[in-house]
Every structure is written in structure tokens, then in C-alpha cells.
Structure 1
Amino acid sequence: MRRSLTRHERLRSRADIENVFGHGSSYRCRGLAMKCVENGLSWSRVLVVSPRSVGKAVRRNRLRRIGKEIFRTLKHTVHGGYDFVFVVYPGDYSFHARREQFIRVLTEANVIDTP
């Protein structure tokens, strides 16, 4: 399995994104919300977003990069066949605290093996 987040592992199409927001199950913890829905594929796809309330684009993009990096390091433990949308909210969290947030919501959704 490739360790990078490949092109087909990113959720890009507007219809797929609307499907996740319209029909997906929601899970959240402090600083992070996740919606997920089964996609019928053998691999999972991910989208990381941050609301405009976070601040300027530089800060929003940094949160998105951190979120994608965390998912990239966890993807070998995540079950295939899901579309995920992670909404990363602002807060003074370290990288490891953010990683624990991701693990918590993925565990709550029962889509991750114990890392």
C-alpha cells in the first residue's frame, strides 16, 4: 500500500461531496467533526475542510494540511469503502492532540482498526 495520499483517495467531485453531507453519518469531538458514508469502492476517500470562521486562508490551509497528513498516516488502519469529510475547527491543539481527535471519531464510527 502506498504511504502517500494518492489522487483517487481524495474526494473531489461535487456530487460525491454533496452525497456525504446529505446522507452521511455524523461524528464529532472537540475541535473536529466527521461525516462518512459508504462509497462502494475498495478504498476510502477523504476531504478535509475548515470553516471560514477559522480565519484567513493561510490558517485554514494549514489546518487542512495537518488533517490530510494525519489521515495519510492513519489510512492503513482505516477500513476501505468509505467517503470521509473532516471539518477541522480552530483551537490551540498540537499535532498529536489533533491525531487523537481523528482516532476518536474514526473509532466512534467503527471504521478503524486499533492503531
Structure 2
Amino acid sequence: MKKAIGLFGNMYFLAAAVFVVWMMFFDRNDLMSQYEYYSQRNKLREERDFYIRETEKVRKDLNELTTDRGKLEKFAREKYLMRKDNEDVYVIIPEKKDEDKSLF
């Protein structure tokens, strides 16, 4: 017990304890801020990886569209509803099922 009282009475221990408490809770870079920075960094890394994958996908599609005439025609027909002069295009939109209808 006397050792514990002597430890808390030591000026160096008190200064170190005050410093640690200050750095953990009151400083600009406290533990909560560090956790938020860490979470934000992970979120940004996930977004970066997503955009890298999407960029590669778009580059692959662009390469296919510039080299293969059949894929270019398929892309134009599906995305922009283009057609040849002697064709008719019918757009079929599936009807959404309304689950909220009651039989009463």
C-alpha cells in the first residue's frame, strides 16, 4: 500500500499519467479521432478498389467495341435502341408485381 501511495506521490509518475490522459482524450489526435481516421481510410481504400475495377471493366469494353464490329452493333442496339432501316424495335418493359394489393 505504501508503494502505491509512493508511486502516486512521485512527480514524474503524475506528469506521465497526466500526459497520457491528455493524449488519449483531450488532444486533437485522441483515440476517437484516430479510430475515425482509420475507418475513413478503409472506406476510401474500398472506393479506390471499386473504381479501379470499374475502370478496367470500361477499358475492356472500350477495347472490345473498337475492335469487334459485332459487339459494337450489339451495344448500340441494347443501350441506344438503334435499328437498321428495315427493322422495327419493340421495347418490352416487365410489369412490376404489386405485392400490396389485397383481395378484400
Q: Which TM-score applies when normalising by structure 2?
A: 0.25
> Which structure carries more relative contact order (alpha carbon 8 Å, separation 6+)?
1
Structure with the bigger percentage of helix: 2
Q: Which TM-score applies when normalising by structure 1?
A: 0.23
Rg comparison, structure with higher value? 2
